[in-house]
Structure 1
Amino acid sequence: MSAQPAASVPARRTKLAIGVGVVCALSIYLGHGRSFVSLSHDPHEVNCLPELHLALLVHHQPDKVERGDYLFWKASSISALAYVGEDFVLKRVAGVPGDTLSIRGEQVFINERLVAEGLEDAVLYKRPASSFQRTEVIPPDRYFVVGTARMSNDSRYWGYLPHASIVGKGYRIY
């Protein structure tokens, strides 16, 4: 029995283009002219979420948020992110209400599980990395969100994302 050849790059691009077209058509149909879904990519040279090249953003505030979900919100809703030029910020949920957050040294733990490393962005806040160390329980209706890159400006620095600020969930396309 011979192995099937992998799909060629043009075939994968064609499938991706068809998928994007279907998503756009559904967005127009389901959103009645409003954008119900959109596509997003990180235009920065150093991506905050290097594992996520293209994401589908569903513009609906979720009732339930779980660890590992990708959430997005308007950059202007978090004052520390006012400099962001894109409409939305997308990060991965590392901690949910009731979880224990601990930042020790340059490592971030949720319920004693390592979820992020590095505090390189401390210089942006003109503070030493040690000033971000803490151990606390994540409060109700708040989420600890991170990028998976060391240079991600995320909850390590500016705190928790309020549920009220969430615009929707993101889903990895590729």
Structure 2
Amino acid sequence: MWSRGRARVRCRPGDIVSAVKPTTLHWAGQSASSLAGDDGEWIVKRLAVISGDQLPDSLSGYSRLRDHAVVPSGSVVLVGDDRFSDDSRHWGFCPQHLVLGRVLIRLVRG
């Protein structure tokens, strides 16, 4: 659990979360709320690892994550269901403030 503004985001590893897809602007410190719904692309991924936790062996071989044994402070690892997903395995650690919240209900058409 961490604070994002006034709200507390209660997410644990294994949760499905909604987040703003990281871009170079986010690493420069621009907030998620200034991009969400405007220029920011929303994504839904599984929260694999939170800051301060050990990076699992299954993720440590990817070039963007390779140099870290522990997830840096203020970062999380987001992964998709497919090993070819556009996720932390390709763009590295995601700034924690981009996680908007946990997905509670899945809506299905039809």
**SS of 1:68's equivalent?**
coil
- For the Cα contact (< 8 Å) 2:64–2:91, is it kept in 1? no
1:152 equivalenced with 2:106 (yes/no) = no
The aligned counterpart of 1:143 is 76
RMSD (CA atoms): 3.0
Indicate the structure with greater helix content.
1
Q: Which amino acid aligns with 1:78?
A: T
Q: CA deviation at 1:168?
A: 2.2
Q: More relative contact order in 1 or in 2 (CA 8 Å, sep 6+)?
A: 2
CA–CA distance in structure 2, aligned partners of residues 86 and 168 of structure 1: 15
The aligned counterpart of 1:162 is 95
Residues 1:62 and 1:108: Cα distance change in structure 2 (over 3 Å):
same
1:64 equivalenced with 2:10 (yes/no) = yes
Q: Which amino acid aligns with 2:78?
A: V
The aligned counterpart of 2:23 is 78
Query: Percent same amino acid at aligned positions?
Result: 26
Q: 1:95 aligns with which of 44, 49, 66?
A: 49
Which runs of no fewer than 5 residues in structure 2 stay unpaired?
A: 1-5, 25-38
Q: CA deviation at 1:162?
A: 1.4
Please list every run of at least 4 consecutive aligned residues from structure 1 whose deviation after the TM superposition is greater than 6 angstroms.
none
| Pairing of 1:100-115 with structure 2 (within 5 A) | 100-102=54-56, 107-108=58-59
Aligned residues: 87
**SS of 1:99's equivalent?**
coil
Q: Which amino acid aligns with 2:47?
A: V
TM-score (norm 1): 0.41
Q: CA deviation at 1:155?
A: 0.7
Q: CA deviation at 1:132?
A: 4.5
Q: CA deviation at 1:173?
A: 2.6
TM-score (norm 2): 0.60
The aligned counterpart of 1:4 is none
